[in-house]
Chains A and B, each alone.
Chain A
């Protein structure tokens, strides 16, 4: 399959626009000089990923991504940024000084992974694009074959919730402890 064949399909134009947007936003996440901008570019990257999931007819996963990541995780990140870096603004000290070696390493990693996937899969076409994976199927799968991993993950979430509260709350000073005992 040549590039002309590939680009002549309209669905690939959509992919090209969204994919370049996702990659550009991801690049700005790791290079932006402003912490809040980095978090907001992550939102753009994740929204583009959700659109790609819709293209792959994975509707439930796309909306889970929007709800959990954009709705909750990025808000949590913004809270973390506001608490630890106020006042926020452009800051030159966000990056380490030595950037050449990580850049070479990540480019080499990208080339290696691309080479591996190209040699392994070539032009394998998508099979069931346009056939939506129904949420019913996902629900039956989660509560059927994957019910034990599901329960384990729920325990992990509960432990993370309790652990987060316990770690982040202020320990009372000895004077406060004494006061509390007297009351």
Chain B
């Protein structure tokens, strides 16, 4: 196994996440794309940890922190989506034009 096979897979997942972020209209699906991008970062962190072999497993610790913050982000994000849906009867970003100039 070489390092680059993991890095390129992570780059592909990250690019897919960017595509989904730009193309999707529904907020829930945009959050799904963000999860895909965070997951790509986790693959990178664990792969680099496997190469560097730090004595304190720093890469894996960072991956765990990323997972934790992602869980918090999803909780808050879906609460906001729920509130927006309750007020506007829609969860599509292009219909939420209240603050658009």
Contacts and interface: CB of A to CB of B under 8 A. Distances in A.
Contact of A30 (B11, B23, B79): B23
A15 B60 contact: no
A103 B16 CA distance: 9
B79 A109 contact: no
Interface residues of A, number: 90
A122 interface: yes
A11 B1 contact: yes
Given A45-B39, A117-B4, A22 B32 contact: no
Interface string A21-61: 01100110110000100110010011001001101111011
A153 B8 contact: no
A35 B7 contact: no
Interface string A133-148: 1000110111011100
B64 A113 contact: no
Nearest to B58: A141
A47 B78 CA distance: 22
Contacts of B56: 137, 140-141, 144-146
A161 B2 contact: no
Contacts of B86: 170
Most chain A beta-carbon neighbours within 10 Å: one of B50, B53, B70: B50
Interface in B40-61: 42-43, 46-47, 49-53, 56-58, 60-61
Given A56-B47, A141-B57, A160-B72, A85 B26 contact: yes
Given A56-B50, A76-B78, A121-B3, A102 B23 contact: yes
A141 B74 CA distance: 26
Nearest to A168: B79
Nearest to B35: A42
Interface string A95-129: 11001011101110110011001100111111111
Contact of B46 (A58, A124, A159): A58
Nearest to A157: B72
Interface string A57-89: 110110011001100110011011101110000
A65 B74 contact: no
A68 B2 contact: no
B68 interface: yes
A8 interface: no
A95 B25 contact: yes
Contact of B57 (A45, A122, A137, A165): A137
A109 B18 contact: yes
A114 B61 contact: no
A164 B79 contact: yes
